[in-house]
Chain A
Amino acid sequence: MNWTWFHKLGSPKWFFHRSKAWALPLFAVGCVGLIVGLIWGLVFAPADYQQGNSFRIIYMHVPVAMLAQSCYFALGVAGFVFLVWRMKIAPIFIKAMAPIGAVMALIALVSGAIWGKPTWGTWWVWDARLTSVLVLFFLYMGIIVLQKALDDQVLANKAVAVISVVGLINLPIIKYSVVLLETLHQGPTFTLTKKPEMPSEMWLPLLVCAICMYFLMAGLVLWRMQSEILKREYRSSWVREEVMKRGL
């Protein structure tokens, strides 16, 4: 297998030039798709036989909750990559990703509470699933705060990488809390092994929402990473050239 792409990934310059063209299209596709998916789900998809229209919040809740976990997984992997290979781009990625993940976890918690009130009859229960997502939100906040507090860039890079890796332990707890512990939360909506337990006119818009949410997030992360790269590499000549070329 050819690993040059992996080594090149370590160079912020290479990454900047490669990813520059990608951010906007990804973001645009994500935005348009998300709007289409949401309108499809919120207006055209049929209501649930038990929950009626309140089930429609699934089109917000599930994609966001999936992202909140995927973002953290990505953070943990990036942290690991940084600790092992000292790849320069990894801490930039962590810094760009953490606030997005925090917002996702927060939206997942809030939309879940709004959904919980009419269906379960309570805004909040202290069961394993909900508590572990709350912890996930705290972890994101911790990473953001740590990043802000440490002025020394080298130390900050290492510190967020360490805490990201350690926080990975929370993910299996979230994932399997609904399966192993008897929680109030229902089982996973999408699994790799089974067809979702609902008709296609219900899960198709959900799938569109989820995938487009990933695109949206990818676009946002690339943007944030690019500006972070420019900020960190402002001394290097290629950044100066870049700025001159644009006539800024």
Chain B
Amino acid sequence: MHPVRKKRLLVITAIVLILGAAVTLVMYALQQNINLFYSPSQIAMGEAPRHVNIRAGGLVVDGSVKRNPETLAVVFEATDYQHTVTIEYRGILPDLFREGQGIVAQGQLNDGGVFIATEVLAKHDEKYMPPEVSEAVKNAQSSMGESKASSQSTY
């Protein structure tokens, strides 16, 4: 082969190999939990570390929100329809915080498996609908029975 072409081939092969290695490393990294986000199931399985700042997310369980009338403290449960985790928080909740709403909490897990949050943020999805439509959807769902509730997509 012509020496210039041989050199060019060598360079291109090296580049492809390096890029391939980079992509493999990224793929590997994406399988790890890099940003310390845990679902209620992972917390229930004991995968989440204790006394470390982590983030947890889930849907607020209906009827689980208990507010302390004197302080701002609030206790509620978050679920991913398989397991739930109890979250304690003291502070102002976002407007969108309500039962059935997706939330992301930042805080630490204590020894009792209770998540002590320092920040609770409401997460909404890319689904938007007018109030009347959501009303209609809810009516339709309740007539179909409670069993369907779990088939609703998690946020």
Hey, which bits of chain A sit against chain B, CB under 8 A?
Answer: 46-51, 55, 58, 118-122, 125, 127-128, 180-182, 184, 186-189, 196-199, 201-202
Contacts and interface: CB of A to CB of B under 8 A. Distances in A.
Chief secondary structure at chain A's binding surface: loop
Given A119-B95, A121-B120, A181-B35, A47 B126 contact: no
Contact of B122 (A120, A182, A188, A189): A120
Contacts of A181: 34-35
Interface in B28-74: 30, 34-35, 37, 55, 57
Nearest to B133: A199
Contacts of A202: 128-130
Nearest to A185: B123
A179 to B, nearest CB: 11
Contacts of B8: none
Interface in B115-136: 119-135
Given A119-B96, A121-B92, A199 B121 contact: no
B131 A49 contact: yes
Contacts of B81: none
Nearest to B36: A182
B76 interface: no
A233 B98 CA distance: 62
Given A118-B95, A182-B55, A47 B130 contact: yes
Given A119-B94, A119-B95, A58 B128 contact: yes
A128 B124 CA distance: 16
Nearest to A122: B121
Contact of B123 (A46, A47, A184, A196): A184
A120 to B, nearest CB: 5
A184 B104 contact: yes
B122 A119 contact: yes
Contacts of A199: 129-130, 133
Contacts of B95: 118-119, 121
Given A119-B95, A184-B121, A199-B129, 15 more contacts: A46-B131, A48-B129, A48-B130, A51-B96, A118-B96, A119-B96, A119-B124, A120-B96, A120-B122, A120-B123, A121-B95, A125-B121, A182-B55, A197-B128, A198-B128
Contact size range, B: 20 to 34
Most buried by A among B55, B95, B120: B95
A186 B55 contact: no
B33 to A, nearest CB: 9
A53 B125 CA distance: 16
Contacts of B98: 50
11 contacts: A46-B133, A47-B131, A49-B133, A51-B96, A120-B96, A120-B123, A121-B120, A125-B121, A182-B37, A184-B121, A186-B123
Nearest to B128: A198
B114 interface: no
Contacts of A48: 128-131
B86 interface: no
Contact of B97 (A51, A55, A121, A182): A121
Contacts of B37: 182
Given A182-B55, A202-B129, A121 B93 contact: yes
Contacts of A120: 94, 96, 121-124
Contacts of B35: 127-128, 181-182
Nearest to A187: B126
Contacts of A188: 126
